[in-house]
Amino acid sequence: MTTLGIPEVRERRTPTRIGKRYLVRTFGCQMNEHDSERMSGLFEVDGMVPAADVADADVVLINTCCIRENADNRLYGNLGQLKAVKDERPDLRILVGGCLAQKDRDLVMAKAPWVDVVFGTHNLHRVLTLLDHAEEWGPVTEIWEETASIDDVPSSLPSHREVPHSAWVTITIGCNNACTFCIVPTVRGKEISRRPADIVREVRALAADGVSEVTLLGQNVNSYGRDLGLEGSRRPIFADLLRRVGEVEGIRRIRFTSPHPKDIRIDVLEAMAETAAVCEQLHLPLQSGSARVLRAMQRGYTPERFLEKLRLAEATIPGLATSTDIIVGFPGETESDFQQTLDVVEEARFDGAYMFIYSPRPGTAAATMGGQIERGVASERFARLTSLQQRISLEKNVALIGSTVEVLSEGASRKDASMITARTRTNKVVHVAGIQPSGAFLHARIDRAAPSHLMGTPV
C-alpha cells in the first residue's frame, strides 16, 4: 500500500478507460452529492460510462459520510458485499472517498484490504491518478493532513449532473466553527473560500450548458471570503457574491446552503431581496431552542437572537419561506430545554424542518459529554416536535391554496406518471397535473396542500 501526499497537478488527460463502466454510491449531504457528480465527470473524461449496478461495473466508488448515524456500518456492509464480487472479478476496482475515508483511512485499509484506493475530502480531483497508481502499483491511500490551500479546491472539474437544469457550485470548503456535535471541521478542515471570479466563471459556464438554477454550497456561506484577503480591494463577501452570480444571464434561480445564524447579517438579506434570481428561501439551522443547550453545542447565538434574525429576514424579503435543522436529545437536554425548543418552533413558524435524534459521532466533543439521553426519551420528544412542525407546515401550505406560483419542473412524478413534480421558488414541492419536461418553467394554481407538498394545476 502506498501513501501519497497532496500533489499539485490537476487531472489533464486523454481518455484511457474508454467504454469501461463506473458506479458511484453516495452517502451523506449535498456537498457529497456534488463531489460525486464531479468524480463521475472525471470518470467520463477518462472515457468511462455509468454502470447500472455492481455486476455491470469495472470501477465502484463509495463516497462516504460520517455525519449520519451508522455511517461506518453502512460502509463496511457495502465493502463486504463488494469483496464477494472482487473475489470473482479481481480486476474490479474499489475506491473509497469522502469524510469517513478522511477520518479512518488506515482503518478502512485494515478492515477491507481488497479496497484499491482510499482518498480524503480534498483529494477528489486526483481520483483518476490514484486509480492509475493502484492499477500499476497496488492499493494506495491519499488524504490531506495539514491545512489545505485555495489551490486544493478544484475549480473547474467536469461534472456529471443528475439534473441537467440544476447545479451545485461549491463556494467554500471546511468550517472554522466548533459545534460540539459536528465532525465536519475535523474531516473537511479549516474554511477555504474560492475566488469570486472562479465561481462566477463556473456559473457562466453552467448557464451556457443549459443550467437555470444553481445552489451555492458551503458549510457556513456567510463567512465566505473572509479568508481571501485580496490585496488592494475590499474583501469579497457573500452578499457581493450573490449579486455577482445574480448578474449571470440564464440563471433564473439561486439558492444557497447553509448560512450560520450567528453570521447572517442585513447585507446578505438585502442582497437576497434585491437580486431577482435569488429565491425567497432561507434555511437557518436552529438546532435547539434552549440557550443552555445552544451554549453546550457552541453555536454562538441565543434563541432570542435567532428569532430576531429570522424576523429581520422575513421583514426584508417579501414572501420568504424558512426551514431549519433541529437536534433532539442533545446530551443534558432536559424536558424544560426541549419545551423551549417547541416554544421557539411555535414562534418561528418554519415552513419545514429537518429534525434529527442526537446520536454521538466518534471524534466530536459531544460524544463524550455526560447526560446522554435515553433513546426512548429522545424518540418521544422527536415525535412531539415532528407533530408540531407538521401542523405548522400544513397551515403554511394551506394558506397557499388558490394562489398561482412559478414552478420549475423536475420531470414526471415518481408516483403518478400523469403529473410532474416541480418546485416553487420557495423550495416547496408541487405535483402538477400534465406533463412538462424537466427544466421547464410554468405557473401553477395551488389546489390542495399537505405538510410536505402541494398539488396544483397549470395555468
Q: Which residues bind ligand SF4 (CB under 6 A)?
A: 175, 177, 179, 182, 184-185, 219-220, 260
Residue 405 near residue 444, CB atoms below 8 Å: yes
Closest to 174 measured CA to CA, from 126, 127, 223, 125: 223
Give me the least distance between CB of 67 and ligand SF4, in Å please: 8
C-beta of 284: minimal distance to ligand SF4 in Å?
12
* 43 vs 168 by CB, closer to ligand SF4: 168
Q: Quick check: 93 and 58 in contact, CB under 8 A? A: yes
For the bound state, the minimum distance from the C-beta of residue 56 to ligand SF4, rounded and expressed in Å, comes to 36
Helices (H) and strands (E) in the chain, counts: 13, 20
Nearer to ligand SF4, 127 or 171 (CB): 171
DSSP 374: P
Report the nearest approach of ligand SF4 to the CB of residue 351 (Å).
Answer: 21
Q: Indicate the residue among 112 and 182 with the shorter CB distance to ligand SF4.
A: 182
Helix (H) or strand (E) holding 393: helix 375-398
Q: Closest separation between CB of residue 1 and ligand SF4, Å?
A: 31
Return d(Cα 280, Cα 271) in angstroms, integer. Answer: 11
Q: Regarding beta strands 429-433 and 419-424, do their DSSP bridges make them parallel or antiparallel, or are they unpaired? A: antiparallel
Looking at the Cβ atoms of 43 and 181, the one nearer to ligand SF4 is 181
Closer residue to ligand SF4 (CB): 67 or 118: 67
CB closer to ligand SF4 out of 300 and 411: 300
128 vs 184 by CB, closer to ligand SF4: 184
Contact of 141 with 119, CB cutoff 8 Å: yes
Q: Contact 59/23 with Cβ under 8 angstroms?
A: yes
Distance CA 169, CA 256 (A): 9
Q: Tell me the sheet residues that pair with 118.
A: 96, 141
Cβ distance to ligand SF4 smaller for residue 95 or 184: 184
Q: Give me the torsion for CA of 204, 410, 172, 120, rounded to 10°.
A: -120
Minimum CB separation of residue 179 from ligand SF4 in Å reads 3
Looking at the Cβ atoms of 137 and 354, the one nearer to ligand SF4 is 354
Give the whole-angstrom CA distance, residue 241 versus residue 246: 8
3-state secondary structure of 445: strand
Least separation in angstroms between CB 223 and ligand SF4: 9
Q: Which residue has the cell 422575513?
A: 314
Give the sign of the dihedral formed by CA 394, CA 397, CA 400, CA 404.
Answer: negative
Which residues, 6+ apart, have CB-to-CB distance to 211 below 8 Å?
A: 161, 164, 165, 166, 167, 250, 251
**What is the grid cell recorded at 84?**
464477494
* Joined grid coordinates for residue 396: 403554511
Nearer to ligand SF4, 286 or 405 (CB): 286
For residue 261, give the amino acid letter: P
Q: Taking the complex as a whole, how short is the minimal distance between the CB of residue 103 and ligand SF4, in angstroms? A: 14
Min dist CB 300 to ligand SF4, Å, is: 9
CB of 182 to ligand SF4, least distance (A): 3
